[in-house]
Amino acid sequence: MAQINTKKEDFSSYIKKFWKLFFYCFGGVILFFLFASWGLFGSMPSFDELENPNSNVATEIISSDGVTLGKFYLENRTPVKYAELPDHLVKALIATEDERFYEHSGIDTKGTLRAALSLGSSGGASTLTQQLAKNLFHGEGSKFLPFRIIQKAKEWIIATKLERQYTKQEIIAHYFNTVDYVNNAVGIRSAAKIYLNKEPKDLTVDEAAMFVGMLKNPSLYNPRRRLEKVTQRRNVVLHQMEKNGFLTKEKKEYFQKQPIVLKFTPESHIEGTATYFREYLRDFLKKWVKENPKKDGGGEYDIYRDGLKIYTTIDSRMQQYAEEAVTDHLANLQQEFNKRQKSNPNAPFTGITPEETQMIINRAMKNSERWRIMKEKGFDEDKIVKSFKVPTKMKVFTWKGEKDTLMSPHDSIIYYKHFLQTGMMAMEPQTGYVKAWVGGINYKHFQYDHVGQGARQVGSTFKPFLYATAIEQLKMSPCDSIYDSPFTMPKGRYGIDADWSPKNSTGNYRGMVNLKSALANSINTVSAKLIDKVGPEAVVDMTKKLGVTSKIPVQPSIALGAVDITVEEMVAAFSTFANQGIYMKPQVIEKIVDKNGVVVYQPTPESRDVMSKDVAYTMIKLMEGVTEYGTGSRLRWGSAPESARVTGVPYNLRNPIAGKTGTSQNNSDGWFIGMVPNLAAGVWVGNEDRAAHFQQTNMGQGATMALPIWGIFMKKCYEDKTLNVSQKPFERPENFSIKVDCWTPKKVETDSTKVEETTTDEFDF
């Protein structure tokens, strides 16, 4: 009997020890979690951090028609709200990652047990909320078991806090916004855009399953590298959706048979649409953040982290058409330029000495990244120069795509000097809103912006400023006559130091002509006589009123366009004529909104009266002559004449168009600026160096180099009826009394490419 009691006592002591150990362990676990929550094992997120997780959010650049043009970012993350997620994407996530998501409060008991048994492994069975906690506050789990246990405890604590802080829908949205899908895609919106060129709301069931499948290991299941693995993983997700009742068997099998078709659209600072405009905007924002600090005293905005939304005036459709027009024309024109350079021993340069050529190359070498890096490393100039002669593997730009080649840096300089460049801008005259901005042919390879940065010689596109001055001061009309004959301005007049005797480009003189015909055919002697009457100072004053800030010399030679002005300034100045004499400063931003939806910047339009409505309308009628029967008349009947045809696009634009061509000396710069009532656009084309140019006038003039881009652009705009680009006549002011309807040469027939001698496109300095 005593023996039995002893056994009972032993058993009882074991029970006591078990419960003591149990409570010690339980208490230890409680203390462990308390210590973790108090931050003894490392800091824990505060209430504010949980309310506003510290994630880098990209600044988004949005067009006037609601399309994302690009982003500024350290992490390419653009958050979406739950309402923007398709239902099948959410179901795919729940079915695959957390089947009991709606039943638990951050920690799933079964999942916790599985996670406890698999500590140290890469996967585990964490709930979505725990995964969100990991993504937000510590990232990849530690491989060291003790640290991983601490991290897991923190995940559980943060997960329970997140569940109290957010709704289930908000947690799902947060989760999708934090996932790194590799290839510079952070968050589901960036991933959908980069891999499929879609918004999340437009994802199909199989596409949604692909993105959910990637969550297991985005690097392993990268659709650009392992499409077969990604397809297998996607099909697993579709099976899970069927298992959880989100798909029928038939639909599952249907979607499993669908191929994965990627439309990879990388979002980088140097690729994509509106690249030159985006860089112009970045420079603007760098100055803006210094002048507009956060109102809560939080310092300057960070354009790479703070999730700003920049609502711009750019229209994505017009931007696309402008970029397409540049490509369509210049790809052809470049072939013609290269063909004509084959017989030039100093290609692509013309009319300069070998010493001058070497100066251009030396300047390019010293401005290169290679020179800068080698100079910083202490190499002397002789060694640097020699390095430019060593053949190197490189990727070069061609109009048919990038090409891998073996070329010395010296030869690559000459190669790139061959390329014709361009600057194009379109603007709404009544608002100043810039609708399209193309600063060059390829930002990745040519980063100089020929719209906002590059001032080039404008040639005869300057003449409307002279004519406007004459009409305003001398009360002249387009129908007034002036004699086209040899003219000499004597030495000393307006400060010139020698007699000035400008010639017409053809060497011919027409006798008595009216102003409309003189401007349409860009007659130099008429321009010289007009500036002799009004004086160069009055013309310079007019250009300043029209918004031109580039330096204009007070000299008679400006009558022929011997001045350098940017495309941006020229388009804004011409827009004044279309806007009834009111100058509107170009505007590219409608508003800036912070990540909370608060408007933090809204610019005030800048405008001023420059001339009366009557003078502005008179100038419009003058410039209509340019496209009716003058140097821009090919817009009416088609492409270039056979002698200069490089783009076989028939424009056949029959609506009223006011415009002006321009060509600088030696054909170095070709211009065309054209206007309809609600849109003005200007185009410049030329090589980077003025010494590189067409030798032949018929190829180097503005009507051949620049006008076709304008014509292709406008033709595309008119074909897109959603743009509502006007085809109506310009508005005639009330009680207008100036005579503008004068005799004009016979107009061309609509079905003919032949023109009267008076309509021949002249070379216009």
Q: Which two tokens stand for residue 753?
A: 């490419």
35 confidence band (pLDDT: 50, 70, 90): very low
Q: Which residue has the tokens 């499948």?
A: 213
Q: What is the mean pLDDT of residues 35-52?
A: 49
- Cα 713 from chain centre: 17
- What H or E segment, with its residue span, contains residue 549? none
CA–CA distance, 322 with 326 (Å, rounded to integer):
6
* pLDDT above 60: residue 52: no
764 confidence band (pLDDT: 50, 70, 90): very low
Domains 78-266 and 421-759 in one fold: no
Closest CA to 436 of 671, 267, 275, 639: 275
Give me the pLDDT at residue 741, please. Answer: 86
Q: Looking at 178-182, 285-289, 648-652, 727-731, which range is the least confident one?
A: 648-652
Residue 565 sits at φ, ψ, to 5 deg, of: -140, 150
- Percent of the chain at pLDDT above 90? 66
Closest CA to 760 of 456, 401, 572, 517: 517
DSSP code per residue over 62-74: E-TTS-EEEEE-S
DSSP code per residue over 125-194: ---HHHHHHHHHHT-SPPSSHHHHHHHHHHHHHHHHHHHHHS-HHHHHHHHHHH-B-STT-BSHHHHHHH
Give me the pLDDT at residue 6, please. Answer: 56
CA–CA distance, 562 with 465 (Å, rounded to integer):
13
Beta strand 481-484 with 679-687: parallel, antiparallel or unpaired?
Answer: unpaired
Give me the pLDDT at residue 118, please. Answer: 54
223 confidence band (pLDDT: 50, 70, 90): very high
- Percent of the chain at pLDDT above 70? 83
Q: Where are the domains of the chain?
A: 16-44, 78-266, 349-388+397-417, 421-759
Sign of the torsion angle spanned by Cα atoms 169, 172, 176, 180: positive
Give me the pLDDT at residue 758, please. Answer: 33
57 confidence band (pLDDT: 50, 70, 90): confident
Q: Looking at 134-148, 180-194, 699-713, which range is the least confident one?
A: 134-148
Q: Which two tokens stand for residue 709?
A: 């881009």
Beginning with the edge strand found earlier in the chain, give each strand of the sheet holding 420-427 in spatial order.
434-438, 420-427, 679-687, 670-676, 658-663
Measured between its terminal Cα atoms, the distance across the chain in Å is 128
DSSP 8-state code for residue 749: P
Contact in structure between 466 and 539 (CB atoms under 8 Å): yes
Contact in structure between 670 and 700 (CB atoms under 8 Å): yes
Give me the pLDDT at residue 541, please. Answer: 97
Q: pLDDT per residue over 500-511, tens digit each?
A: 999 887 788 989
CA–CA distance, 481 with 513 (Å, rounded to integer):
5
Give me the pLDDT at residue 115, please. Answer: 54
Contact in structure between 712 and 452 (CB atoms under 8 Å): no
Contact in structure between 344 and 355 (CB atoms under 8 Å): no
CA–CA distance, 315 with 647 (Å, rounded to integer):
25
Give me the pLDDT at residue 143, please. Answer: 45
Fold of 421-759: Beta-lactamase (3.40.710)
Give me the pLDDT at residue 124, please. Answer: 52
Q: Looking at 326-330, 435-439, 491-495, 526-530, which range is the least confident one?
A: 491-495
Q: pLDDT per residue over 366-376, tens digit each?
A: 999 999 999 99
The C-alpha angle with vertex 107 and arms to 105 and 112, in degrees rounded to 5, equals 160
Give me the pLDDT at residue 507, please. Answer: 80
What is the SS3 assignment for 398? coil
Q: Which residue has the tokens 């210094």?
A: 290
* pLDDT above 80: residue 121: no
Give me the pLDDT at residue 647, please. Answer: 52
Contact in structure between 680 and 583 (CB atoms under 8 Å): no
CB neighbour class for 689 (10 Å; exposed up to 12, middle 13-18, buried from 19): middle
CA–CA distance, 100 with 571 (Å, rounded to integer):
61
Q: Which two tokens stand for residue 683?
A: 């185009």
Q: pLDDT per residue over 397-421, tens digit each?
A: 999 999 999 999 999 999 999 999 9
Instruction: Tell me the pTM.
Output: 0.80
Mean model confidence pLDDT for the chain: 86
134 confidence band (pLDDT: 50, 70, 90): confident
* pLDDT above 50: residue 145: no
- Cα 32 from chain centre: 53
Helix count and strand count (H, E) for the chain: 27, 18
Choose from 46-55, 280-289, 577-586 the range with maximum mean pLDDT.
577-586
CA–CA distance, 589 with 476 (Å, rounded to integer):
39
Q: Where are the beta strands (DSSP E) in 490-624?
A: 511-514, 564-566, 582-584, 589-593, 599-601, 607-609
675 confidence band (pLDDT: 50, 70, 90): very high
Q: Which two tokens stand for residue 615?
A: 């003078």
Q: What is the mean pLDDT of residues 21-48?
A: 50
Give me the pLDDT at residue 73, please. Answer: 84
745 confidence band (pLDDT: 50, 70, 90): low
DSSP code per residue over 682-726: EEEEEESSTTB--SSHHHHSHHHHTHHHHHHHHHHHHH-GGG---
- What H or E segment, with its residue span, contains residue 675? strand 670-676
Contact in structure between 79 and 190 (CB atoms under 8 Å): no
Give me the pLDDT at residue 454, please. Answer: 84
130 confidence band (pLDDT: 50, 70, 90): confident
Give me the pLDDT at residue 123, please. Answer: 47
Q: Looking at 33-42, 97-106, 579-588, which range is the least confident one?
A: 33-42
Residues 6+ apart with CB under 8 A from 254: none
CATH code for the part of the protein at 78-266: 1.10.3810.10
What is the SS3 assignment for 499? coil
Q: Looking at 32-46, 99-113, 150-164, 694-708, which range is the least confident one?
A: 32-46
Q: What is the mean pLDDT of residues 709-726?
A: 96
Give me the pLDDT at residue 763, please. Answer: 32
* pLDDT above 50: residue 759: no
Burial 599-634 (b: 16+ CB within 10 A, else e): ebbeeeeeeeebbebbbbbbbbbbbbbbbbbbbbbb
Other CB atoms within a 10 A radius of the CB of residue 436 amount to 27
Can you list the pairs that 474-478 forms with residues at least 24 positions away whose Cβ atoms lie under 8 Å?
474/533, 474/534, 476/515, 477/515, 477/618, 477/738, 477/739, 477/740, 478/514, 478/515, 478/516, 478/618, 478/621, 478/622, 478/625, 478/738, 478/739, 478/740, 478/742
Give me the pLDDT at residue 690, please. Answer: 94
- HSE-up of 430 (CA within 13 Å, CB side)? 7
Q: Looking at 136-150, 244-258, 286-300, which range is the least confident one?
A: 136-150
Contact in structure between 692 and 349 (CB atoms under 8 Å): yes
The C-alpha angle with vertex 16 and arms to 10 and 21, in degrees rounded to 5, equals 125
- DSSP H helical segments within 223-315, as ranges? 227-243, 249-256, 275-291
